[in-house]
Amino acid sequence: MFRLLLACTVPILWGSTYSVVSLFLSDLSPFWVAVWRALPAGLLLLLLKPGKPPLRWTRMFQLSTLNITLFFPLLFIAAYRLPGSVAGTLGATLPLQLMFVQWLFEGKKPDIKNLLLALVGLAGIILILNPSSDIDPYGAIAALTATAMVARASLLLKKWPVSDIFRLTAWQLTLGGLMMIPVALVFAGIPKMITTGHLPGILWICVFNSAFAYWAFAKSIKSLGPNMMSMVSMLNPVAAVILGVNLVGESLSSLQWLGIALVALSLILMMCIGKKAPLKPKMKPAHP
């Protein structure tokens, strides 16, 4: 029971990112918020488990670029420009995007069941982003592109299997955070002074959302396996929706609620199919 509860904390913490940004960090640059989330957390994890990267440097830099340097700024751009419930749901489309990225890069066509479920999920996304909802297009593109980065990195991990997920994540956060500093300087300039009002948000996304959540993710992958973690990951958009509506006061139209339900249904059914016949690559992403 404890192992399952620990696993459940991971997607719930990641799903809280959007509300934390709205409540505490809304006046800061998303690029510097990405740096403050990644780099201190990576260094903390390396202190807990020092050692060399589990992959050679060229591969570590590829994964760090996709999973952190590109993913984190895009994630926070989405968090700043979209309601958390919408951003969280779009970010949960990883299994759908993985299917299409695998088709694009490896020529592996999805089976008919997963293809139909992907179309259901796509219909849900269209409902969430319907013109009457007045959703920021740049935020939506950022959310979907961020997830595509993780999908691409997941395919690379399929070819480069790693047993030490904890150390892999620690190095990704550290290298990705270091590479984000010049990006933040170019796009956002000198960082704004952090105030006491920002500290709860910074501490939350760094210590809990990153350092603790990635430690719990690594431990849960080993104890429960990737299939169970895939099912548990559905708590990510659920947490984003609940927190967005109740803490930030977000409101959604009936069409958007229907879209969120369709995305959730497609992901749950896809995971159930994958559990019966595990033909999909085992994903070990560094996620929100």
Question: Domain map of the chain by residue range?
Answer: 2-276
Q: How far is CA 64 from CA 98, 107, 154, in A?
A: 18, 25, 12
Mean pLDDT by 10 residues, the chain (288 residues): 86 90 94 96 94 93 94 93 86 78 80 81 83 84 90 83 86 96 95 94 94 86 70 78 85 86 82 59 50
CA distance 174 to 200: 22
- For residues 90 and 236, is the Cβ–Cβ distance under 8 A? no
pTM: 0.82
Amino acid identity, position 69: T
pLDDT of residue 75: 92
pLDDT of residue 277: 53
pLDDT of residue 56: 93
pLDDT of residue 138: 93
pLDDT of residue 280: 45
